[in-house]
């Protein structure tokens, strides 16, 4: 499946503020949570629902609720910046964690931590702010599928064409939701124009 760029005025407004190198970590975290909310609303808009009737203080009312559970799996550490927004939207969400680090010479990811919940009965969302080469996302998607996930969606703040193409080749069944598909990767596999190292900016650590 091809990537869906969430073309919403608020998404564009928040993304540009994230790109600004003058944005301090505290505001960067706040902007990330707000943008994640916009992205998740787009990524969940077609989730299946079932009818349910409740009793109001006045009378019965019928509406629709989500048909099944949701799982979110942030890729550590930058994906943690997207976690709280999803938990606020879906308080009963199941949360898993995947720790992946990139070899700076080969740009290949290696896993250092994995803790995943039951996923076979749920829709699983993998959260990674930067979809660059697609290596980490590919590894994460492979891991959740091996752990039982049947329906999986990828949510990223910024993506590179190379990363999107890599996922289309490796996981054509996984839709990608992102605020932007940027121009390209540079020689260090950073997204251009991108917004720098997401984790460093999120946590105020040195690059």
- Catalytic positions are 102, 106, 197, 200
* CB-CB contact of 129 with 78 (8 Å): yes
7-12: Cβ within 8 A, 24+ apart: 8/38, 8/42, 10/34, 10/38, 11/35, 11/38, 11/39, 11/179, 12/179
DSSP the chain: -PEEE---HHHHHHHHHHH-TT--HHHHHHHHHHHHHHHHHHHTTT--EEEEEEE-SSSEEEEEEESS-EEEEEEETTTHHHHHHHHHH-TT-EE-EEEEEE-TTT--EEEEEEE----TTSEEEEE-SEESSSHHHHHHHHHHHHTT-SEEEEEEEEE-HHHHHHHHHH-TT--EEEEEE-SEE-TTS-EES--S-HHHHHHT---
């Amino acid at each position: 499946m091809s990537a869906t760029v969430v073309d919403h005025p608020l998404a564009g407004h928040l993304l540009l503020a994230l790109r600004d190198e003058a944005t301090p970590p505290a505001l960067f975290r706040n902007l990330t949570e707000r943008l994640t909310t916009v992205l998740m609303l787009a990524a969940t808009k077609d989730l299946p629902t079932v009818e349910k009737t409740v009793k109001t203080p006045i009378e019965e009312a019928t509406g629709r609720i989500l048909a099944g559970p949701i799982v979110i799996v942030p890729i550590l550490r930058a994906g943690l910046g997207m976690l709280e927004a999803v938990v606020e939207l879906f308080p009963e969400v199941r949360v898993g964690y995947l720790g992946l680090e990139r070899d700076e010479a080969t740009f290949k990811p290696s896993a250092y931590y994995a803790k995943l919940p039951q996923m076979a009965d749920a829709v699983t969302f993998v959260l990674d702010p930067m979809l660059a080469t697609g290596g980490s996302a590919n590894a994460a998607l492979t891991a959740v599928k091996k752990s039982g996930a049947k329906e999986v969606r990828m949510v990223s703040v910024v993506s590179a064409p190379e990363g999107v193409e890599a996922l289309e080749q490796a996981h054509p069944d996984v839709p990608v939701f992102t605020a932007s598909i940027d121009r390209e990767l540079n020689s260090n596999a950073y997204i251009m124009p991108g917004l720098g190292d997401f984790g460093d900016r999120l946590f105020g650590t040195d690059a």
